[in-house]
């Protein structure tokens, strides 16, 4: 952290990253989620938006409130705990203000298409002349190098070109995208890890660097064994539905009121399961008495699956979880309401109340649990430019008169 940084006047939060200043020039999710993690961990994150074209995730549902007081809970979930300013980076004054802020910052995160910041005259090479310790994190669809670096990208782009889409779905049907924006989320998580590593290096050596994270690269690492299956055996991963490529039984099974995941494929777990359901002799039944036999796709489909479905059909998800306890890997496949209301989730503080339009709205909490850090309070997401005066005065000494001039010129 810069020795000269003082965030007391910026509503600084407590946490391990307290005092670290992050300039967040990102929008939607791939970027805002990364900087949200920093804010949750105590960093002073300054969300920078264009005064005439703020982050369009502000228009994403669900909304809380009505009329002029309406606010996006989606936007809040990824921008809580941040300060908000507006800068027109195409104006001379806007560029100058950003450069002054860079001099006080530790980290800058952007998710423009590669080359955009260069065209604005705000490239890493330019900014590091102002602050050699700056960690410059760039999240994009294809990364800053390579023949496809200039292509536009969304989350679905990452899922498509990273290989994950081709693997997801059911056999003999077209592949299906993963049902969440996993390309955006994975890129944000890798960006957070890389940024903190670069920050540690900057603190040690005094030299910042670029953290270059691509959605395609990030999604590729989520394909489990698909790459080595291909490079070793030329075996191409294809959709398997709820099945595992080689471990069985390991997947989704119906029960009285829905579905459960069951993964008792080892001989130990299989024997325990047979005993739990009153048929211990099935652990020794010819054809399914060893793990290797149960791995056979035909055996799994014709002998093991019918047995499990017969057992599970008599019980609800909750009853099956209770029976399995800590003996075998069996979990209810829960709906979102069931997850939100899960006592274990509550015990982990994973649904937190965040102010949105004057109301406290539940949203996911921080999954990183630090034993010496309190993570019980969360602040609302900022309005566009809400903290212009506070941030610009505290960090770079902008006066009220200058603030009015900058606003009138469209720079903020």
User: For 2-20, how does the pLDDT look when each residue is reduced to its tens digit (9 = 90+)?
Assistant: 434 456 667 667 899 999 9
Q: For residue 408, what are the contacts with CB-CB under 8 A and spacing of at least 6?
A: none
Calculate the dihedral angle through the C-alpha atoms of 108, 109, 111, 116, rounding to the nearest 10 degrees. Answer: 10
- Spatial distance between the Cα atoms of 136 and 31, rounded to a whole number of angstroms: 12
β-strand pairing of 107-110 with 210-214: unpaired
- Spatial distance between the Cα atoms of 297 and 301, rounded to a whole number of angstroms: 6
Q: Of 79, 229, 239, nearest to 165 (Cα)?
A: 239
Q: Residue 119 corresponds to which tokens in the numbers above?
A: 């065209």
* Residue 251 burial (CB count, 10 A): 20
* Residue 167, pLDDT score: 96
Residue written as token pair 């471990």: 247
Report DSSP state, residue 53.
Answer: B
* pLDDT, mean of residues 40-46: 97
At residue 113, does pLDDT exceed 60? yes
**Given the residues 106, 184, 217, 243, the one annotated as active site:** 184
Report DSSP state, residue 13.
Answer: P
Query: What is the gyration radius of the CA atoms in the chain, in angstroms?
Result: 26
Q: Of 165, 156, 143, 173, nearest to 222 (Cα)?
A: 165
* Residue 375, pLDDT score: 77
- Spatial distance between the Cα atoms of 365 and 347, rounded to a whole number of angstroms: 12
Q: For residue 340, what are the contacts with CB-CB under 8 A and spacing of at least 6?
A: 351, 362
Residues 46/23, Cβ–Cβ less than 8 Å: yes
Q: For residue 367, what are the contacts with CB-CB under 8 A and spacing of at least 6?
A: 350
β-strand pairing of 258-262 with 251-255: antiparallel
User: For 311-347, how does the pLDDT look when each residue is reduced to its tens digit (9 = 90+)?
Assistant: 999 999 999 999 999 999 999 999 999 999 999 999 9
- Spatial distance between the Cα atoms of 219 and 142, rounded to a whole number of angstroms: 11
Residues 142/112, Cβ–Cβ less than 8 Å: no
Residue written as token pair 């604005």: 120
Q: Residue 120 corresponds to which tokens in the numbers above?
A: 């604005």
- Spatial distance between the Cα atoms of 42 and 268, rounded to a whole number of angstroms: 45
Residues 125/41, Cβ–Cβ less than 8 Å: no
Residue written as token pair 């299906």: 176
pTM: 0.93
β-strand pairing of 63-64 with 71-72: antiparallel
User: For 362-410, how does the pLDDT look when each residue is reduced to its tens digit (9 = 90+)?
Assistant: 999 999 999 988 877 899 999 999 999 999 999 999 999 999 999 999 9
Average pLDDT over the chain reads 95
For residues 277-290, one letter each, b for 16 or more C-beta atoms within 10 angstroms of the residue's C-beta and e for the rest, the string is beeeebbeeeebee
* pLDDT, mean of residues 353-368: 96
Active site residue 184: yes
């Amino acid at each position: 952290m810069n020795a000269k940084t003082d965030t007391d006047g910026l509503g600084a939060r407590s946490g391990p990253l307290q005092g670290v200043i992050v300039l967040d020039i990102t929008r939607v999710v791939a970027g805002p989620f990364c900087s949200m993690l920093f804010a949750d961990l105590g960093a002073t994150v300054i969300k920078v938006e264009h005064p005439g074209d703020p982050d369009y995730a502000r228009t994403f549902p669900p909304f809380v409130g009505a009329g002029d007081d309406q606010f996006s809970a989606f936007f809040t979930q990824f921008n809580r705990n941040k300060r908000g300013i507006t800068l027109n980076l195409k104006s001379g004054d806007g560029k100058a203000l950003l450069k002054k802020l860079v001099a006080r910052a530790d980290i800058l995160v952007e998710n423009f298409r590669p080359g955009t910041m260069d065209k604005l005259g705000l490239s890493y090479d330019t900014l590091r002349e102002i602050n050699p310790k700056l960690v410059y994190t760039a999240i994009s669809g294809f990364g800053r190098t390579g023949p496809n670096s200039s292509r536009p990208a969304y989350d679905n782009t990452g899922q498509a070109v990273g290989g994950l889409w081709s693997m997801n779905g059911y056999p003999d049907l077209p592949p299906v995208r993963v049902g969440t924006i996993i390309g955006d989320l994975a890129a944000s998580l890798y960006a957070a890890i890389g940024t903190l590593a670069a920050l540690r290096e900057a603190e040690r050596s005094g030299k910042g660097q670029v953290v270059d994270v691509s959605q395609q690269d990030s999604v590729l690492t989520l394909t489990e064994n698909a790459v080595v299956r291909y490079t070793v055996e030329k075996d191409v991963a294809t959709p398997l539905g709820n099945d595992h490529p080689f471990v069985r039984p390991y997947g989704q099974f119906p029960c009285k009121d829905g579905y459960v995941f069951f993964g008792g494929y080892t001989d130990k777990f299989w024997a325990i399961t047979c005993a739990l359901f009153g048929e211990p002799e099935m652990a020794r039944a010819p054809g399914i008495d060893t793990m290797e036999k149960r791995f056979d796709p035909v055996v799994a489909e014709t002998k093991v699956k019918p047995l499990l479905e017969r057992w599970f059909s008599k019980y609800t998800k909750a009853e099956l979880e209770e029976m399995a306890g800590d003996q075998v890997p069996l979990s209810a496949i829960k709906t979102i309401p069931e997850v939100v209301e899960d006592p274990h989730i509550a015990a982990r503080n994973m649904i937190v109340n965040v102010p949105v339009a004057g109301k406290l709205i539940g949203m996911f909490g921080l999954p990183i649990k630090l034993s010496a850090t309190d993570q019980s309070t969360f602040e609302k997401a900022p309005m566009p430019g809400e903290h212009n005066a506070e941030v610009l005065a505290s960090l770079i000494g902008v006066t009220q008169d200058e603030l009015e001039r900058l606003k009138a010129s469209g720079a903020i």
